[in-house]
């Protein structure tokens, strides 16, 4: 396998499946199967999940809500998604632990780096909920931060599109996909991969990012077997 330890970032919106809001159990079950295929082959998997399918702090603020209050709601939304994902993974027979950046001890373990790494070594999938635990951050930043902390080899950002394009492929038919691109080129060309905080943290710590389509069955395992799936952002 190409990578031994991965950090998979799933957006909250991905969990909606065909829905407009909330969680689609069918989509969750599909993700669980995809993840099982790779854990069965010995890949260590950590997951950071977003919360956009339930609540975003920015959306609250645009409706007059205090931003920090909204961000707290957003972080709790990621914990809800984490619990849902944990159930789906365990239904698929994968041992898991949910660790949160904000303490909810009756519900999940607190984030403890050494514990997280030990779980991974033992073959458990570790889901990190609650983002970074701080308002004004995103779950992309949480994904990069946790990936660096647990010494993941790569961050895999599962999205609806199959990689990074020269322009928005939904708007420009002549747009072409990059197989590889450097961090500098992403910045120079003004391409959107992650928010700037998350992207810079990844660049500074030389953590490669692969953007790929998580909704096409088999993509995750193909990517890990070294097939040319998605776009890799590297130094």
Please identify which residue in 7, 8, 57, 100 interacts with ligand UDP, judged by CB under 6 A: 57
Residue 190 labelled as part of a binding site? no
| Sign, CA torsion 192/198/203/206 | negative
CB of 41 to ligand UDP, least distance (A): 26
Under the binding rule (CB under 6 A), the answer on residue 201 touching ligand UDP is no
| Residue number, 100 or 139, with CB nearest to ligand UDP | 139
Among 39, 46, 56, 126, which residue interacts with ligand UDP (rule: CB under 6 A)? 56
> According to CB under 6 A, which residues from 8 to 27 bind ligand UDP?
11-13
**How many CB atoms sit inside 10 A of residue 153's CB?**
16
Is residue 178 a contact point for ligand UDP (CB under 6 A)?
no
**Concatenated DSSP letters for 140-171?**
HHHHHHHHHHTT-SEEEEEESSSS-BSS-TTT
Give the residue, chosen from 75, 80, 89, 150, that forms a contact with ligand UDP under the rule CB under 6 A.
75
Question: 101: helix, coil or strand?
Answer: coil
Decide: 49 and 139 in contact? Cβ < 8 Å.
yes
176 or 192: CB nearest ligand UDP: 192
CA 56 – CA 65 distance, rounded (Å): 11
**Is there a binding annotation on residue 31?**
no
79 with 129: CB under 8 angstroms? yes
Write down the number of H helices and E strands in the chain: 8, 9
- SS3 of 169-217: the string is CCCCCCCCECCEEEHHHHHHCCCCCCCHHHHHHHHHCCCCEEEEECCCC
CA geometry: angle 81, 198, 100, nearest 5 deg: 35
Query: Measured from the CB atom, is 2 or 103 closer to ligand UDP?
Result: 103
Q: Between residues 196 and 228, which has the closer beta carbon with respect to ligand UDP?
A: 196
Residues 105-164 that bind ligand UDP (CB under 6 A): 131-132, 134-135, 137-139, 141-142
Count of positions on this chain that bind ligand UDP (CB under 6 A): 24
- Say which residues have a Cβ less than 8 Å from residue 213's Cβ, sequence separation at least 6: 158, 159, 160, 161, 162, 163, 219, 229, 230
Q: Which stretch binds ligand UDP (CB under 6 A): 25-33, 70-78, 83-91, 105-113?
A: 70-78
Q: Report the nearest approach of ligand UDP to the CB of residue 13 (Å).
A: 5
Where do contacts with ligand UDP occur on this chain (CB under 6 A)?
A: 11-13, 50-52, 56-58, 70-71, 74-75, 77-78, 131-132, 134-135, 137-139, 141-142
Annotated binding site for ATP: 9-12, 52, 56, 159, 165, 168
């Amino acid at each position: 396998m190409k990578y031994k330890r991965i950090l998979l970032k799933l957006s909250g919106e991905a969990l909606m499946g065909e829905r407009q809001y909330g969680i689609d159990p069918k989509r969750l079950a599909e993700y669980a199967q995809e993840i099982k295929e790779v854990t069965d082959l010995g890949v260590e998997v950590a997951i950071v999940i977003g919360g956009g399918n339930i609540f975003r702090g920015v959306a609250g603020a645009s409706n007059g809500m205090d931003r920090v209050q909204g961000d707290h709601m957003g972080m709790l939304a990621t914990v809800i998604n984490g619990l849902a994902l944990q159930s789906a993974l365990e239904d698929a027979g994968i041992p898991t632990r949910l660790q949160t950046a904000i303490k909810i001890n009756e519900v999940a373990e607190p984030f403890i780096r050494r514990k997280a790494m030990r779980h991974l070594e033992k073959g458990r999938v570790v889901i990190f909920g609650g983002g970074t635990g701080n308002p004004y951050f995103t779950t992309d930043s949480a994904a990069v931060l946790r990936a660096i902390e647990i010494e993941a080899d790569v961050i895999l950002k599962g999205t609806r599109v199959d990689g990074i394009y020269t322009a928005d492929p939904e708007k420009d038919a002549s747009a072409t996909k990059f197989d590889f691109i450097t961090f500098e080129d992403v910045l120079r060309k003004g391409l959107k991969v992650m928010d700037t905080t998350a992207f810079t943290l990844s660049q500074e710590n030389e953590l490669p990012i692969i953007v790929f389509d998580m909704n096409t069955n088999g993509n995750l395992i193909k990517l890990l077997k070294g097939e040319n799936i998605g776009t890799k952002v590297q130094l």
